[in-house]
Amino acid sequence: MRPLRDVAFPWKCRRLESGLARRERRRSVSGMSEGHAERIARLEERLAWFEKHSVEQDRAMLELAEKMDELRAELQRWRDREDGQGGEFSTQERPPHY
C-alpha cells in the first residue's frame, strides 16, 4: 500500500458519503476486483476524514488568531493606559505606601 503522503489532497470540504452510497458505488465499478474496490473505498474514507480534519484545524486556527488579536489589543490598551498616567512616581522615589 502506498503511503498517503504521495496522494494529492484537495483541501476543500466535501460531504461525507454514507455507507450505503459507498457500497453502491463499489458495486457499480465494473472490471475491478473486489480487493481493489475495497482498497479504493478505504482510501476514499481516509481522504474524507483528512479533509474533515483539515477543515476543523482551519477553524481552530482562525479562532486562535482572533483570540490573539483580542489579547494584543488588550495589551496595547494596558500599555496606553500606563503611558497616559504620566509616570506619577519615578523609579527612584519610594511609593507612598512604603
Q: Identify whether 92 is part of a domain.
A: no
pLDDT at position 38, please?
92
Q: Which three cell numbers stand for residue 11?
A: 483541501
CA–CA separation, 22 vs 24, rounded Å? 5
Predicted TM-score (pTM) of this structure? 0.47
Residue, of 26 and 67, whose pLDDT is higher: 67
Q: Which three cell numbers stand for residue 18?
A: 454514507
Find the domain containing 73 and state its range.
17-82
Q: Identify whether 90 is part of a domain.
A: no
Q: Identify whether 98 is part of a domain.
A: no
Q: Identify whether 71 is part of a domain.
A: yes
Q: For residue 21, what pLDDT band results from cuts at 50, 70 and 90?
A: low
Give me the number of domains the chain comprises. 1
Q: Which helix (H) or strand (E) holds 27?
A: helix 19-28
Q: Identify whether 34 is part of a domain.
A: yes
Q: For residue 1, what pLDDT band results from cuts at 50, 70 and 90?
A: very low
Q: Identify whether 33 is part of a domain.
A: yes
Evaluate if residue 9 carries a pLDDT over 50. Answer: no
pLDDT at position 86, please?
60
What b/e sequence results for 75-89 when a residue is b if at least 16 CB atoms lie within 10 Å of its CB, and e otherwise?
Answer: eeeeeeeeeeeeeee
Give percent above pLDDT 90 in the chain.
Answer: 45
Q: For 58-97, what is each residue's pLDDT tens digit?
A: 999 999 999 999 999 999 999 998 887 765 555 666 767 7
Q: Identify whether 52 is part of a domain.
A: yes
Q: Identify whether 46 is part of a domain.
A: yes
